[in-house]
Structure 1
Amino acid sequence: MTHAENHYDAVIIGAGMSGLAAAVRLAMYDRRVLVVERHNAPGGLNSFYAKAGRKYDVGLHALTNWVPEGVKGAPLVKLMRQLRIRREELDLCPQFGSKVSMAGKNLRLNNHFDDLLADVATEFPKSVDRFRALDAWIAGLDEAALQAHGGSARSLLDERLGDPLLCDMLLLPTCFYGSALEDDIEVSQFAVMWRSLFREGFARPFIGVRQVVRILLDRCREHGVERRMKCGVKSMEVKAGRVVALHLDDGTEVTADAIYSSAGAVETQRLRSDVSPLVGAAEIGRLGYAETIATYDPAAFRDFKWQDTIIFFCDAERFTYRSPEQLVDARSGVICIPNNYEYGEGRALDEGWLRVTALANHDAWCALPETEYQARKQEWCARLNRVARTHLPAVADVAHDAALTSTDVFTPRTVRKFTGHLNGAIYGSPVKRRDGRTDLANLFLIGTDQGFLGVTGAMLSGISMANLHGLKA
C-alpha cells in the first residue's frame, strides 16, 4: 500500500452502534473512513449471534426514546434526520407496557408519562407534587449538553422527593439502563434516562437489533465506508501529542487525520505507545451483568399470559447497585419479554422469549475453572428464571419446563471476551468525557465512555462526536 492508500480522514475503532453511526455521518460528507473491528459481528454491545439455528439478540431489550410519529425535537427524530433514516426503515413497534416493581408497589412505564404520574399519585400521594416539580426541573436541563450537569442523582432525589422507596424505584430502571456508577447515577445521565424511559418510552424492531445494525451497514456501503472485521488495533503510535499511526492486528499500518474510539477510555489509552499498558486501572468500571435467555414453544407460551414487556424489580428493602460479592445478585434486575411489542397483524415471534438480567461479579466468574464455570452458568440460569417467574403470572413448573425449548447465559466473562471491555463493564468507566476529547489532538472517544448510553444514545454519541470533531472542525 502507498501512503495515500493507507491514509484516511478518519479511522473508527469498533463497529458498534456509535462507531457505525460516526462512520456514516462522516462519510456522508465525503470523508474517507475506515472502521476496524476485532470481532466478526458488528453491533458491539448491541449485537446478535446464532446458536443451534436460533438468532439471539444481545443488549437490546428495547430501543428507548420512542415517540409517536410527528413529534419533533426528540433524540430519536434527531438521530434519523442526521443519518437520513426513514422511520419506516426502523420498523419500530411500541411496547405493550412495562413497570417498576418493588415492596408491593408498581409504577407503570408504558410510553404514557401521565400513567406514571397517576401511579406516583396513587402509591406515593404525599410525594406527587414534588415529583411534578422534579419533572419540571429536569425538563429545564439540556441533558444532551456536552458540558454536563454533574452530581449525585441519589442525593438529588433524596433532597427533592424525600421518600426513600420512591427514590429507589426511580433509580432502579435508570441505573440498570444507564449507570456506570455504583449505587448512583450522575444527574445529567439521570436526566437522559428520565426522558428516555419515563417521558418517551420503549419500542423494538420486529427482528430486533439486527434491523438497526442492518440499516447502519447499508448506509456504510452506500457512502463508501471501508470496514475490516476480525481486525482490531494492536497499538497506536504517538508522537508530539498526536496519533501518527495505527498498527492493526493483520500486520498493516494505517494513518488518519482523526481517530474515534469506541473501545472504552481505559482500553483506548492502553493501546498507546507512550503510556504504561496498565494505565487507568482506577477508572475501570466495576459493574457487570449476567443475563439468561430462555425460549419456549409459542402456543404454550401464549397460555402463560405473560403480558409485561419489561419489569424492573427489586426484592430487597433498599435498592443497591454495585458489583456483588457472590457470582450474581438476584435481589434486583430486569425481566424482558421481547414478544410483548405491538408487531401488528400477522406478525409474531417464532418462539416465546424470556430474558433476565442481574448484576454479576466479573472477577468471581473469571476465576472459575472451565467445568465449574459451565456448571455455575446453568445453575444461575435456573435461579434467575425462577426469580423472574415470581414477578409474572404463575405457571406450574411442569408446564413451564415442558414448554422450554432452549436456554443460554452470558456473564461478564462473555462480555469481556466478545467486546474487549475490561471487567466486562457494560457501561464502561464511571468517568465520562462528554466532549469526547483526550489529551491527544486527534484521538476522540465515542460510545460508552463518551457518555451517551443505550442504542439510541450510542448512535447519537457517534453522530455528535463526528459533527463536533470531524465536520465542524
Structure 2
Amino acid sequence: MFRALFLEGFFRPEGTIKDLIDMLLEQYDQFEGELRFRAPVAAIMNKDGKVQGVRLHNGEEITADAVLSTVGIPGTAQLSGWPLDIDQYIGKMTFMETISMIPELELPPERSGRTILFYSLKDQLSYHRPVEPIDASWGVICFPDNFQGIERRNDAPTQVRVTNAANYELWQQAAADKEQYRHVKEVCGRQSAAAVSKILGRYSQDAVFQDSFTPMTIERFTEKCGGAVYGSPIKIKSGRTPWSNLFIAGTDQGYLGIVGSMLSGVTIVNQHLLG
C-alpha cells in the first residue's frame, strides 16, 4: 500500500470507466464470447465433485467445463452448496461515496491541484464499522480530473468524490422503505459535505449534480455480501474451491480495486484454465 500510494502513485483510465469497459467488451467479442444481461444465476450445479454449469433464475441450465465466480466467497458458497461458515468470510467494512459536480471549484491554496486527500477530523483515526449509517469524521476525497495526462474541457464541471465508512445493517434497514432510504442518503450526504467543508471550504453549495452510492448499491451491482467492496477478510489466493473446476476470482481471491479484480480474473484463467 505504501509503495502504491507514495512511490508509484494512483492510476485511472484516461477516459471513463465506461470507456474501459467498452474496450474490454470489444476484445471479449473478438474472442467470440457471449455476454448475458439480466440473467441472474440461481445455482451452480455440481455432481460427483465437479461443477456441471449454472442454472439461471428463469430455469435455463447452461453447462460448462469450468466456472469462474466473481460474486465472492459467500455468494459462491450459497450458490454451489459449499459447506462453509459464511459469516467469517463476509467483509465488515463498507462505504458510502458521494459524487458532486461543481462548475467552478475554488479550493484553499494548499488543497489546489491535489488528486487524493485522506482526512481525519479526529486526532486518532478509527478504521472500523461505524455505529451510525456513516462516519463523516474521516474519509477519502478524490479529484478524478487532477490525474496527470487528463485533459478537461474548460466548461466541464469539476468532480469531487468523498468516501466514508458506512454501517451495512443500518442501510439495509433503511432500504426496506424507499422514502426512508432516500432520507438517510440525503442526511448522510449533508453530514459528509459538512465534514469535508472544514477541509475544502463550502465546496458543495454550488453543485449542479450530487448523488451517492451506498452499501446497498455495492451489494446490488457486485454481489458482495454486506456491501463489502473489498471483499472477504479471508482471501483464497489459489482461487480453488472444493470443486476442481470451480474457481474464485476478484477481490476475494486477493487483488483489490477495479484493476486488481480484472488482474485476478486474468491470473486465475491463465493459471487454471489455460495453463
- Deviation of the 1:195 alpha carbon: 3.0
> Per the alignment, in what secondary structure is the counterpart of residue 135 of structure 2?
strand
* Residue 434 (str. 1) matches residue 242 (str. 2): no
Matched-pair identity in %: 34
How many angstroms apart in 2 are the aligned matches of 1:293 and 1:456?
Answer: 21
Which string of whole-angstrom CA distances, capped at 9 and with x for unpartnered residues, describes residues 135-179 of structure 1? Answer: xxxxxxxxxxxxxxxxxxxxxxxxxxxxxxxxxxxxxxxxxxxxx
Q: Residue type matched to 1:424 in 2?
A: G
How many angstroms apart in 1 are the aligned matches of 2:44 and 2:82?
Answer: 10
**For structure 1, which segment, 321-330 or 411-420, has the greater mean C-alpha deviation from structure 2 after superposition?**
411-420
The equivalent of 1:292 in structure 2 is 98
Moved over 4 A (4+): 302-305, 344-349
- Deviation of the 1:287 alpha carbon: 0.9
> Per the alignment, in what secondary structure is the counterpart of residue 428 of structure 1?
coil
How many angstroms apart in 2 are the aligned matches of 1:456 and 1:345?
Answer: 22
**2:133–2:166 CA contact under 8 A, matched in 1:** yes
How many angstroms apart in 2 are the aligned matches of 1:427 and 1:379?
Answer: 25
The equivalent of 1:235 in structure 2 is 43
- Deviation of the 1:345 alpha carbon: 6.0
How many angstroms apart in 2 are the aligned matches of 1:343 and 1:280?
Answer: 43
- Deviation of the 1:463 alpha carbon: 1.1
The equivalent of 1:190 in structure 2 is none
Equivalent in 199, 214, 226 of residue 391 of structure 1: 199
**2:53–2:67 CA contact under 8 A, matched in 1:** no
- Deviation of the 1:279 alpha carbon: 5.2
5 Å-filtered alignment, 1:325-364, equals 325-343=131-149, 347=153, 350-364=156-170
> Per the alignment, in what secondary structure is the counterpart of residue 65 of structure 2?
strand
The equivalent of 1:211 in structure 2 is 19
> Per the alignment, in what secondary structure is the counterpart of residue 390 of structure 1?
helix
Give the TM-score, by structure 1 length.
0.54
* Residue 411 (str. 1) matches residue 219 (str. 2): no
Q: Residue type matched to 1:419 in 2?
A: T
Q: Residue type matched to 1:195 in 2?
A: R
Give the TM-score, by structure 2 length.
0.90
- Deviation of the 1:318 alpha carbon: 2.1
With over 3 angstroms needed to count, the CA separation of the structure-2 counterparts of 1:198 and 1:250, relative to structure 1, is farther
- Unmatched 5+ stretches in structure 2: none
Q: Residue type matched to 1:290 in 2?
A: M
* Residue 253 (str. 1) matches residue 57 (str. 2): no
**2:239–2:248 CA contact under 8 A, matched in 1:** yes
5 Å-filtered alignment, 1:12-411, equals 193-272=1-80, 274-275=81-82, 280-297=86-103, 300-301=104-105, 306-343=112-149, 347=153, 350-368=156-174, 369-392=177-200, 394-395=201-202, 401=205, 403-411=206-214
> Per the alignment, in what secondary structure is the counterpart of residue 301 of structure 1?
coil
> Per the alignment, in what secondary structure is the counterpart of residue 131 of structure 2?
coil
How many angstroms apart in 1 are the aligned matches of 2:152 and 2:40?
Answer: 42
With over 3 angstroms needed to count, the CA separation of the structure-2 counterparts of 1:404 and 1:304, relative to structure 1, is farther
* Residue 446 (str. 1) matches residue 245 (str. 2): no
**1:339–1:348 CA contact under 8 A, matched in 2:** no
Q: Residue type matched to 1:365 in 2?
A: W
How many angstroms apart in 2 are the aligned matches of 1:372 and 1:271?
Answer: 31
The equivalent of 1:175 in structure 2 is none
With over 3 angstroms needed to count, the CA separation of the structure-2 counterparts of 1:346 and 1:384, relative to structure 1, is closer
- RMSD of Structure 2 on Structure 1 (CA): 2.2
> Per the alignment, in what secondary structure is the counterpart of residue 294 of structure 1?
strand
The equivalent of 2:274 in structure 1 is 471
**1:333–1:358 CA contact under 8 A, matched in 2:** yes
How many angstroms apart in 1 are the aligned matches of 2:182 and 2:212?
Answer: 10
> Per the alignment, in what secondary structure is the counterpart of residue 75 of structure 2?
helix
Which string of whole-angstrom CA distances, capped at 9 and with x for unpartnered residues, describes residues 341-370 of structure 1? Answer: 234667468211111101000001111243
- Deviation of the 1:411 alpha carbon: 1.2
User: In terms of Rg, which structure is larger?
Assistant: 1
Which string of whole-angstrom CA distances, capped at 9 and with x for unpartnered residues, describes residues 113-141 of structure 1? Answer: xxxxxxxxxxxxxxxxxxxxxxxxxxxxx
Q: Residue type matched to 1:420 in 2?
A: E
**1:242–1:440 CA contact under 8 A, matched in 2:** yes
**1:434–1:451 CA contact under 8 A, matched in 2:** yes
How many angstroms apart in 2 are the aligned matches of 1:336 and 1:391?
Answer: 13
> Per the alignment, in what secondary structure is the counterpart of residue 391 of structure 1?
helix
How many angstroms apart in 2 are the aligned matches of 1:226 and 1:419?
Answer: 20
